[in-house]
Structure 1
């Protein structure tokens, strides 16, 4: 069904995908409270979409604070995010009516039968996180791990730290089989990680040729596309800083 501009599908027991054109959010149902992972662009009515699934009060968890992930946050009251993205968050969302709690690497979040380890994975943004469910072997990855090109241009993007975060995930890859990203295909295999590491390494060493985005792209003058294997990055026009 579609409510408030979001296509709602059930992925697992008590686990729903709220798909807005261009980005997806995840909703997990507990006995007393629901956990909403990201809130989309804010173009639609995500609160109505949530109410179509559950009447429970909602806690929002932000994987990071880019505009397409925090646009609907004002409809809720309780927010969890990493402190590293607080300036980014406050630049677009008023915290006056919100209760904001900071997440740290290694924290645990529980929603019904799901138990997540918070992984701080800076690079795409300073406060990017992913949520690892070890028992059920899946990772909610935000924008850190996906089949769509990963943004690594502009303020706050740090390709070197991003590579370090990918390498950390590589060492944890035995803990998950499935990745649930915010963009592109979903779910995807954890195998996407290898090509993203290779692509980022080659971008940093300036081995990859830059490709201009199609004419008319709203970000075409700000970045270039860099590809390797099945992975792609949107990096600086002149390549990574030396």
Structure 2
């Protein structure tokens, strides 16, 4: 191996390490924004077993792959940005199986436990999953709050478009995804559906969209368009 090749190889290793560190930092930042209530399995189980509010019940048939508990969390403004991944299209049975870990009891039966919250790696290497799940989330927001807050869905759509624009310049997993989840959580924490804009602020852009996370020159990322005829992502 020539000196130039060795230098290039070592440089690539350093860049890979830097990207992994960026993802670890973003993951820690996102977890810090989660309230401790997200870690209470008892609360989650209670939400899954209790009767959904009357306004939520019609949506259960409209979104067959989305649990009633998740729809209720949207209605009650308790949804966390990391929970968007639960809007993935699947059967109700598959959804329950994926969200739980089943362990054998001493008597030979099984008991289900809630899995840990999703990590950045669970979202995949491109924005396709996040985009599809966000569109399903927007449809739910529209059904639940569209009459009272007509600006909510258009403003969130502009936020989504801004996020997708960022993917043309920056790495998805290392930069844009952490930005999308953390800024969406910022929006959810504010609890405002009547605001004039949900566009990403300069403070968030400067924190997550750093120069060392830009795509290589000439790189063009093609986003596969979600199937809008489907209810999920």
Q: Output the TM-score relative to the length of structure 1.
A: 0.30
- Higher fraction of helix: 2
Structure with the greater alpha carbon radius of gyration: 2
* Higher relative contact order (Cα pairs below 8 Å, separated by 6+ residues): 2
Q: Output the TM-score relative to the length of structure 2.
A: 0.31
